[in-house]
Amino acid sequence: MPLAALLIVISIATASMGLLSTPNLIHAEETKSLFDRLGGKEPITAVVDEFVNRLVADSRVNGRFGSTDVKRFKMLNTELVCEATGGPCKYSGRDMKNTHAGMRISETEFNIVAGHLAATLKKFKVPKQESKELLAIIGSLKKDIVEAS
Ligand code: HEM
């Protein structure tokens, strides 16, 4: 086979392998749980740690956490995120509605808290897609947490 023809055959073969393998790779990423795409328990624990540190340092909301056991609060939020993203954990705390009932938490407060999570995800350079998915999960809890306007 002349060299030019051989090169054409090789390039067609390589291109078609690419066509076959690329969608499979993309598909594998898509079918991975959010928990796995976030990197698992360790980075999630680090994100929750920073997120809660920000909450207790923010005078707009830290009055709410005056008597909170911060270590336990971090542990429960880590479990919650781990389970909600498809990880192997079991959340051992109370459900969001009963936990926050009677606190009269406003939408403004909720947005401040969610904003700290968004800023934390940015700081940890969590990719846009994964950040978006986690913030959507947390956002879906709003109806059970916010009572006051
Ligand atoms: C953004 C979504 C939120 C999530 C995922 C969340 C998650 C949690 C979790 C897991 C607990 C512990 C439940 C237990 O003790 O069994 C908790 C408790 C609590 N949350 Fe939230 N929360 C959210 C929003 C808020 C907001 C906006 C406020 C008020 C600014 C707030 C104030 C509290 C307080 C005061 C407690 C009780 C802490 C204690 O035991 O002293 N939460 N929350």
Nearest to 131 by CA among 147, 115, 145: 115
CA of 97 to the centre of ligand 1 (A): 10
Spell out which residues line ligand 1, taking CB within 6 angstroms. 61, 64-65, 67-68, 73, 76-77, 80, 93-94, 99-100, 103, 105, 109-110, 113-114, 138, 141, 145
> Model confidence over 57-101: pLDDT tens digits?
999 999 999 999 999 999 999 999 999 999 999 999 999 999 999
Question: Whole-angstrom Cα distance, residue 71 to residue 49?
Answer: 9
Question: Is 50 exceeded by the pLDDT of residue 127?
Answer: yes
Neighbours of 104 (CB within 10 A): 11
Phi, psi of 147 (to 5 degrees): -120, -40
Q: What's the rounded Cα separation, in Å, for the pair 141 and 136?
A: 9
Helix (H, G, I), strand (E, B) or coil at 106: strand
What number of other Cβ atoms are within 10 A of residue 57's Cβ? 10
Q: What pTM, to 2 d.p., does this model score?
A: 0.85
At residue 59, φ and ψ (nearest 5 deg) are -65, -15
Residue ID of nearest Cα to ligand 1 atom 15: 93
Compute CA 9 distance to the chain's CA centroid, rounded to the nearest angstrom.
45
* Residue 44 Cα to ligand 1 middle (Å): 17
Q: Which domains does the chain have, with CATH numbers?
A: 3-12+34-145 (1.10.490.10)
- How far does residue 100's CA lie from ligand 1's centre (Å)? 6
Ligand 1 closest atom vs CA 146: 27
Over range 2-28, report the average pLDDT. 55
What pLDDT is recorded for position 14? 47
DSSP secondary structure letter of residue 88: S
Query: At residue 114, does pLDDT exceed 80?
Result: yes
How far apart are the C-alpha atoms of 109 and 122, rounded to whole Å? 20
